Amino acid sequence: MNKFNAWIASKGLGSVLILAVLLAVVFPLVFDIFRLNLVGKYLTYGFVALGLVMLWGYGGVLSLGQGVFFGLGGYAMAMFLKLEASDPITTKIQSTPGIPDFMDWNQLTALPLWWQPFEYLPFALFAVVAVPTLLAFIVGYAMFKRRVGGVYFAIITQAVALILTVLIIGQQGYTGGVNGMTDLKTVLGWDTRTDSAKYILYYLCTFLLIGGILLCLWIQKSKLGTLLLAMRDKEDRVRFSGYDVAMFKVFVFCLAAALSGIGGALFTLQVGFMSPSFVGIVPSIEMVIYAAVGGRLSLVGAVYGTLLVNFGKTYFSESFPDLWLFLMAALFIGVTMAFPDGLAGLWDKKVKPWWQRKQAERLAIRAAVAADAATDTPVTQASPAARPTPAQLSGQSA
Q: What percentage of the chain has pLDDT greater than the value 90?
A: 47
| Residue 189: pLDDT band with limits 50, 70, 90 | confident
Average pLDDT over residues 214-231: 92
Q: What is the predicted pLDDT for the residue at 398?
A: 44
Same domain, 313 and 200: yes
Q: What percentage of the chain has pLDDT greater than the value 70?
A: 90
Kindly provide the b/e burial profile for residues 11-27, where b requires at least 16 CB atoms within 10 angstroms of the residue's own CB: eebebbeebbeebeeeb
Residue 47 near residue 262, CB atoms below 8 Å: yes
Over 60: is that where the pLDDT of 391 sits?
no
Residue at 31 is within a domain: yes
Same domain, 363 and 307: no
Residue at 391 is within a domain: no
Residue 217 near residue 19, CB atoms below 8 Å: no
Number of domains in the chain: 2
Residue at 78 is within a domain: yes
End-to-end Cα separation, the chain, in angstroms = 61
CATH number of the CATH domain containing 303: 1.10.3470
* Per-residue pLDDT reduced to its tens digit, 155-175: 999 999 999 999 999 999 899
Same domain, 270 and 305: yes
Output the CA angle 7-251-144, nearest 5 degrees. Answer: 140
Same domain, 361 and 310: no
Residue 45 near residue 306, CB atoms below 8 Å: yes
| Residue 313: pLDDT band with limits 50, 70, 90 | confident
Over 50: is that where the pLDDT of 374 sits?
yes
Same domain, 353 and 324: no
Least confident among 37-46, 129-138, 322-331: 322-331
Q: What is the predicted pLDDT for the residue at 397?
A: 47
Residue 19 near residue 264, CB atoms below 8 Å: no
Same domain, 198 and 239: yes
Q: What is the predicted pLDDT for the residue at 89?
A: 84
Q: What is the predicted pLDDT for the residue at 269?
A: 93
Residue at 379 is within a domain: no
Residue at 185 is within a domain: yes
Q: What is the predicted pLDDT for the residue at 150?
A: 84
Same domain, 328 and 354: no
Same domain, 349 and 290: no
Mean pLDDT (the chain) is 86
- Domain limits for position 218: 23-338
Q: Work out the angle between the directed axes of helices 66-84 and 150-170 (0-180°, nearest 10).
A: 20
Same domain, 184 and 202: yes
* Per-residue pLDDT reduced to its tens digit, 236-257: 888 888 888 999 999 999 999 9
Same domain, 199 and 348: no
Over 80: is that where the pLDDT of 325 sits?
no
Same domain, 362 and 333: no
Same domain, 151 and 45: yes
Q: What is the predicted pLDDT for the residue at 136?
A: 96
Residue at 388 is within a domain: no
Q: What is the predicted pLDDT for the residue at 395?
A: 54
Residue at 255 is within a domain: yes
| Separation of alpha carbons 10 and 6, rounded Å | 6
